Amino acid sequence: MAECAVNGDSDVLIRAEKFKEEANQLFKDKKYEEAVELYTRAIEANPKSSVYHANRSFAHLRLENYGFALEDASTAIACDKKYIKAYYRRASAYMSLGKFKPALRDLEAVVKVRPTDKDARMKYNACSKIVKQKAFEKAIACDDNKKPVSETINLENITVEDSYSGPHIPEDGIDPAFMENLVQTFKKQGKLHRRYAYKILLEVKQILASLPSLVDIVVEKDNKLTVCGDVHGQYYDLCHVFDINGLPSLDNPYLFNGDFVDRGSWSVEVILVLLGYKVLYPHNFHLVRGNHETDYMNQMYGFEGEVKAKYDGMMMQLFSEVFNWLPLSYCVNRKVLIMHGGLMEQDNVTLEDLRSIDRNRQPPESGLMCDLLWSDPQMQSGRGPSKRGVSCQFGPDITSKFLKHNELDYIIRSHECKNGGYEEQHNGKCITIFSAPNYCDQMGNKGAFITLRSPDLKPKFTQFDAVSHPEVQPMAYANSFMRMPGMF
């Protein structure tokens, strides 16, 4: 039995085991938050059980709480260095955080103990391949004179074959008819020709590069703005939003608050539609960068694999360039600040500080840019360590102080799956919006979007359920490590 010896009342240990069994059932029922609560009660009764810590680690992985998952797996290993599942869990957490070398060390420990375990060997080989690839990329990255891929593409050299039956971008550029055609083409599982996909990417890069890192927008009196949260490649649910709320137009502006791609298996379709609308309505359609619009997340969670499967590696490089130029936050009527993650680890940050962030890069591991993409709210006052292992968590007092310092009413952020599609925290001053219903086909949550009407900008929430989609599983294009049994 993979548990440390404990001294304690046998009734307490029996109760702890009962909590664990109930938590295991909740986990099977995909009620991960409730499972975490009961694993915690089991741990409180028997803190030396490696099994309880490893099980809670797995539940945290399902909730994308990678920092907590890492901590629990490490505790399980400290309790029992021979408990192999704990090494699997910690390797998963490390991989999710882009820390491939320590993940490889954990998997190496597993392989040493179980040299004939085919599954362990497959995981080790998958991780080893990534580490070697990263080392190669680092070795060739020293060429400072290498041109961005956007400067090497000549659209005139890309021929549209006579056999192509999808939508064509008119000579005068993208228009509403093209976008409606594109939405319907993707709905029918059709494909956009790569010449037109490249054209959208090149045009949108120029538009995004002209914007500051914090964009100020105005919603005029009696007009509205629709704010959507994470979509995560769930294209058919995105279309459902458009069915409910209308297609984007000059009179029907949208803001999508990051995490357009990864996990869902129609990320290419989602992002091309969103970028196409940004080209069509550059001042009435808005996109904020999320933590999944980054290279290592795309490599692990499916977007890179999907782009390469549907187009090619060069297009993935161009997507990376475009993502680097996505703004990090928006401010509506000088009243409402919108970002993907949340507030910062440091006090007294101003809107001007956010406006002047140098964002044309992959996000650093700390600082304002990292916080805007990764932080989360917490119920307790003050700041706490991030459950994700990146940035921090911030309490209601932090929100209140930031709003007062910058003369704002409230913030809107996304980044977390919510059962009802949204949640109001910090006395209504911190709103989370999430627009991917039944996230990854397993969470059972609703999606939601927010309607803001001027002049008061009081948020109105619209909830919606997931719709059916073709039989392609989430994570279909993810790194093989992430699709292996027992990892996620």
Dihedral sign from CA coordinates of 34, 36, 38, 41:
negative
Between CA 88 and CA 97, with CA 92 as vertex, the angle to 5 degrees is 150
Name which of 400, 389, 344 is nearest 369 in CA terms: 344
Strand order in the sheet with 329-332: 214-217, 329-332, 336-339, 410-413, 430-433, 422-425
As given in the structure block, the two tokens for residue 304 are 């890179």
| Strand blocks (E) in 78-217 | 214-217
Query: Which phi and psi (to 5°) does residue 65 adopt?
Result: -90, 70
Between CA 98 and CA 178, with CA 447 as vertex, the angle to 5 degrees is 90
Between CA 349 and CA 297, with CA 414 as vertex, the angle to 5 degrees is 95
Cα separation of 253 and 285, whole Å? 5
Question: H or E stretch including 15?
Answer: helix 10-28
Active site residues: 292
Largest CA-CA distance found in the chain, in angstroms, rounded: 79
Q: 309 vs 127, 160, 322, CA distance in Å?
A: 21, 19, 19
| Strand blocks (E) in 272-374 | 285-287, 329-332, 336-339
Name the DSSP letter for residue 233: T
β-strand partners of 217: 332
Long-range contacts of residues 186-192, Cβ cutoff 8 Å, at least 24 apart: 186/235, 186/266, 186/269, 186/272, 186/273, 187/235, 187/236, 187/239, 189/470, 190/165, 190/166, 191/166, 191/310, 192/166, 192/167, 192/272
Cα separation of 221 and 228, whole Å? 21
Asked if 165 and 135 touch (Cβ cutoff 8 Å), the reply is no
Cα separation of 319 and 297, whole Å? 13
Work out whether strand 254-256 and strand 224-228 pair parallel, antiparallel, or are unpaired.
Answer: parallel
Name which of 85, 74, 73 is nearest 120 in CA terms: 85
Strand order in the sheet with 392-394: 376-377, 392-394, 383-385
As given in the structure block, the two tokens for residue 7 are 């001294």
Cα separation of 375 and 357, whole Å? 17
